[in-house]
Structure formats: C-alpha cells, structure tokens
Amino acid sequence: MSRLNGPVVAIDGTAGTGKSTVGRAAAQRLGYGFLSTGGLYRALAYKVFQEHINPADDAAVLAAAQSLTFRFERQPDATLKMFVDGEYLGDKLNLDEVGQTASKVSTHAAARAVLTEKMRQAGKDGGIILEGRDIGTVVFPDAEVKIYLTAAPEVRADRRVKQLLSQGAPADYTHILASIKERDLRDTTRVASPLKPAPDAVQIDTSDMNRDEVVEAVVKEINKYAA
C-alpha cells in the first residue's frame, strides 16, 4: 500500500525492550513521526484512577475510553505529543502504577477497539513509527515494516533501574523484575489482542545490544522497504 507520507512502521515487544527510545531515535533519523501507543492506554488508566473506576469493570472502562478525546501535535524530536481532553499529562502517565493499571484496562476488547481507532487515525498517512504491543498484528496488520523487539526480563529490569537512578528516583531491582514479569504475563496471555510477534515481523533480541546498535538495525529494516 502506498501512503501519503511514507510507510507505517510497527515496533512491538514487551515492556522495557527499548521500543520507545529506539523508535524515537529511528524516527528522528528518518524524518518520520513517532507515537508511543502505550500512552493512550496510560491515559485511559489515568482517567480510571481519577474517577475511581474499577479497572475490571468492562462497561465502565469502555465508557471512559469513549469519553476521552485525543489530539496529537508533532514535536521537533519526532514525537507526537498527546493531549488528552485538551491537557498534556506529561510525567503523570509514566508512574509504574499507571503502567500496571494500563496493562489491566488494556485487557478489555471493546475499550481496545476505541483506542485502536484513534491510533489508526494518527498513523494512516504513514511516515510514522508506532510503538506498542499489537501494532503489527491488529492496529496496522498492513504496516509496511514490522519489527518485534525482545530482551531477557533481567536485562530489562537492569535498564529500568539505571533509568530511574539517573533521574534521581529510588529503584529496587527485585520489585522491578517482579513487576516486569507480572506485566509480561498479563500482556501475553490476555484474550484480547495478546502481545505476540506478527508472522511477518523481523525479530530483534536486544539483550546484548546497545541503544545505537538497535537503532541501526531498525533503520536498516526500514531502509530495505524504502529501497
């Protein structure tokens, strides 16, 4: 399929494989947009929190998803900055508790369908890298480039610890490793759009690679399409 601004690039994988960092860097190199789709699930989780909705309540989570409005503004660093109901939520969405609730609310098929449609709208014209869990399988099964990143849970926990410490935040390796494993299990075993590689995705194990090597590998895959 030929799109207005170039290919749709799907980067999927478990939490902490570097999808966001790598996706953003690759997008900058190529002059593409970049959208971290977990942000939409995090925004829904945030709303669920604020309104004291039970994350297990199918109908209430769906109503919350339907009530949210999203607007995306392209930034100089390629990122599509997300405004939820007109507000930029920033770091509030990055809390681990929000990530865990996002993983819970993302088990509801009907709410997923609502957010999936928003992602399709944001990406349909191409020239964009979308990072998530089901981009290559569900959101854009027709994506021109599909990449699936993996890394051992211990490596991912280690990276998260370093990231938190560099931000001056407290970090407990054992707790973080358990949290990563819990989220992996939920994301890969849920009934609605479980995390799994698309059959036509290129799989890259980043356990023994540094950031620049992964960016290089991803850009190489995208350039194969463009060539």
16: closest CA among 181, 224, 196, 217? 181
Residues in the chain, overall count: 227
Binding residue for ligand DC (CB under 6 A) from 79, 106, 137, 179? 106
Say what the alpha-carbon torsion angle 99, 105, 106, 109 is, to the nearest 10 degrees.
180
Which of residues 2 and 50 has its CB atom nearest to ligand DC in the complex? Answer: 50
Whether the CB-CB separation of 11 and 218 falls below 8 Å is answered with yes
Shortest distance, position 183 Cβ to ligand DC, whole Å = 5
If the CB atoms of residues 55 and 187 are measured against ligand DC, the closer one turns out to be 187
CB of 219 to ligand DC, least distance (A): 21
Of the candidate spans 132-140, 166-174, 197-205, 215-223, the one that interacts with ligand DC by CB under 6 A turns out to be 132-140
Query: Is 179 an interacting residue with respect to ligand DC (CB under 6 A)?
Result: no
CA distance 182 to 201: 25
Size of the site for ligand DC (CB under 6 A): 15
Burial 180-192 (b: 16+ CB within 10 A, else e): beebbebbeebee
Quote the least distance from Cβ 106 to ligand DC, whole Å: 4
Residues 2-61 within binding reach of ligand DC (CB under 6 A)? 15, 37-38, 41-42
The residues near 137 (Cβ < 8 Å, ≥ 6 apart) are: 12, 193, 196, 197, 198
Q: Which stretch binds ligand DC (CB under 6 A): 63-71, 133-141, 144-152, 215-223?
A: 133-141
CA 175 to the chain's CA centroid: 22
Q: Which residues pair with 204 in a beta bridge?
A: 149
Among 6, 13, 99, 136, binds ligand DC (CB under 6 A): 99
We find the least distance from the C-beta atom of residue 227 to ligand DC, in angstroms, to be: 28
DSSP state of 91: G
Contact residues for ligand DC, defined by CB under 6 A: 15, 37-38, 41-42, 99, 102-103, 106, 132-135, 183, 187
